[in-house]
Amino acid sequence: MKCSKCKEKKALIQITIEVNEETKVYYICRDCAEAMGFASPLESASFPLDEILANLQDLSPATPADEDETVLTVEMKPGLKCDNCGLTFDDFMRIGRCGCSKCYTAFKPNMDAILESIHGTTQHIGRTPITEEPVMEQYVQKNRLEEELREAIATEDYEKAADIRDQMKDLV
């Protein structure tokens, strides 16, 4: 598949935007993505998503990618707004920061899609500061127990679920 911008190089990144029930799909090569402000998070600490989305206006939507090609897909849910501060997701994209702590919850569907497309997961995996290691161990153990509890309830193993619940209480 050719790049929607330069029409020459192979597209490696797919961006899908849905607005008012209309879906637009863009396929971009690495060079055009970098020129638009999209850089690998491993190479650069910044990720100017507002610039990337602004530069999409210059592109024409493309046809779907061939099945054998690997592309990065980001699907955005339009119209998200924080009930606490009134910031819209479009405003967040333009200014690059949340208006309040509730914005993270309000924009979670889009943020999860972005983080998952970049990092492959929405959960932090990596090193933690030495001072926070006991806290992180407790957090990881709590998440593991919550997953085990869900599985026990799903399989209707209520005795095991009660034991897990008690272990979770002991963590606090």
How much is the average pLDDT of 139-156? 90
**Most confidently modeled range among 23-27, 65-69, 94-98, 157-161:** 157-161
Angle between helices 158-171 and 133-154 (to 10 degrees): 160
Residue 147, phi then psi, degrees to nearest 5: -65, -45
Q: Which residue has the tokens 């990618």?
A: 65
Q: What angle do CA 29, 31, 34 make, to 5 degrees?
A: 105
pLDDT band at 49 (very low <50, low <70, confident <90, very high): low
Contact, 52 vs 38, CB < 8 A?
A: yes
Between CA 80 and CA 86 the distance in angstroms is: 10
- So what's the pLDDT on residue 159? 93
Question: DSSP H helical segments within the chain, as ranges?
Answer: 30-35, 49-55, 89-95, 103-106, 108-119, 133-154, 158-171
pLDDT of residue 94 exceeding 60: yes
- Cβ partners under 8 Å of residue 98, min gap 6: 82, 87, 92, 104, 107
- Contact criterion met (CB below 8 Å) for 50 and 93: yes
- Mean pLDDT (whole number) for 119-136: 67
pLDDT reading at 10 higher than 80: yes
pLDDT for 162 equals: 93
pTM (2 d.p.): 0.35
